[in-house]
Amino acid sequence: MNPMAESFPDPLSIPSLGIPEIDRSLELLMGTCVPDEAKERFLLDLHARGETAAELAGFARVLLGRAVIPVLDRRDPRPLLELCGTGGDRAGFLNISTAAMFVAAGAGARVVKHGNRAFTSKCGSADVLEALGVNVHLDASRVGEVLEKAGCVFMLAANFHPAVAAVAPLRRRLGERGELTIFNLLGPLLNPASPDYQLTGIYRSEMLPLYAEALGLMGRKVAWAVHGEGVHPGEGVDELSITGPSRVFAVRGECPMESEEFTISPAGLGFPQVTDQGILLGGDAGENASRITSILSGRESGAARDMIMLNAAAALHLAGIGATLHDALLLASESIDAGKALRSLELLRSASVSSVSEQV
């Protein structure tokens, strides 16, 4: 056997890996012909050099080519939307984007959320949804049906990306050591439903233009890459924040690609100042599920509800629901106050669970 076929390309000597190098690297990462130490070194060297937008999009395209693709009704005029974060900020907040999914669905969007269990936090999107009674092991053939009934749907990455699931133990080992890799960035690009619109939080502010470009290369009609500031300088989150200003890189994926940068200030949108971000912290899956239910049912107000509304409103606005961010915030508030957001959760729970019984 050719020994060169069993070695990774050296990312430190290549400015940007092309599709052939990416395809070969993924084959090695998923296989058993090279030791785990070599896999770790490749991923850590690539991250140390800094992934390019073309590499992010390239890895995502190759992996999507090996993914299980759900069946969706593309004739539905409602925008197909994803809102998520890369993770990796280690802020420990409540599952903001997961809760915002129900608010956006209640306001008229079709939300196709793609996520996983926790890697760098106590509770991932799949963990909290499972605690909320949602079936997270939805078959690809049922995704469109559940989306039509509930206005939102969740796809567990491990079920739709067996190639990515093969490297989960490697990712987990690196995560336990505090090491980040390209896989901490790829998740939001790997949605097998290929949504037209996307709001994605990035754990590092300096990566916003790079990530926005990658989203554009993936063909999103409109996408925002965002990073929020915490109460103290240097503390950032992979969400739009109400504890400080948020940087936004917006991109339109049409040719030629257009992009712009702007800042969203919570004070400018009428949110009260938050000086203790401890009230935004989450816990385990059960605790987070209880709080999300309390917020969606209108029993809990305050900073966590505000942050969920802000992220839902931004997703709605970029998808064309709400002419301005202020308009979209009113729609997000009404989604909660009128019980539409909670109804979306209840519909997702019942539709996903009935889907299981129909398959048995």
**Cα separation, 55 vs 18, whole angstroms:** 7
**Cα separation, 351 vs 109, whole angstroms:** 17
The domain spanning residue 319 has which CATH number? 3.40.1030.10
Tokens 């420990």, residue located = 92
What secondary structure letter does DSSP report for 213? H
What is the pLDDT, as a whole number, of residue 235? Answer: 82
pLDDT per residue as tens digits for the range 96-117: 999 999 999 999 999 999 998 8
Q: Does residue 125 sit within a domain? A: yes
Percentage of the chain exceeding pLDDT 90: 78
Going by C-beta distance under 8 Å and a sequence separation of 6 or more, which residues neighbour residue 25? Answer: 8, 9, 17, 42
Residues 20 and 108 in one domain: no
Structure tokens at 249: 């890189």
Crossing angle between the packed helical segments 53-64 and 19-30, to the nearest 10 degrees: 60
Residues 103 and 183 in one domain: yes
Going by C-beta distance under 8 Å and a sequence separation of 6 or more, which residues neighbour residue 348? Answer: 102, 134, 146, 150, 152, 153, 154
**Cα separation, 5 vs 290, whole angstroms:** 51
Is 109 within 8 Å of 139 (Cβ atoms)?
A: no
pLDDT per residue as tens digits for the range 292-336: 999 999 999 999 999 999 999 999 999 999 999 999 999 999 999
Q: Does residue 337 sit within a domain? A: yes
Residues 271 and 180 in one domain: yes
Structure tokens at 309: 């509304």
Residues 251 and 292 in one domain: yes
What is the pLDDT, as a whole number, of residue 119? Answer: 63
Greater model confidence, 242 or 1: 242
pLDDT per residue as tens digits for the range 22-72: 999 999 999 989 999 999 999 999 999 999 999 999 999 999 999 999 989
Residue 357 has pLDDT above 50, yes or no: no
Residues 29 and 146 in one domain: no
Residues 42 and 87 in one domain: no
CA distances from 38 to 6, 23, 31, 201, 303 (A): 10, 16, 12, 30, 45
Residues 45 and 140 in one domain: no
Its pTM stands at 0.93
Residue 122 has pLDDT above 60, yes or no: yes
Q: Does residue 358 sit within a domain? A: no
Is 173 within 8 Å of 57 (Cβ atoms)?
A: no
Q: How many structural domains compose the chain?
A: 2
Residues 176 and 304 in one domain: yes
Q: Does residue 69 sit within a domain? A: no
- Place 121 in a pLDDT band, splitting at 50, 70 and 90: low
Residue 330's domain comprises 80-158+167-346
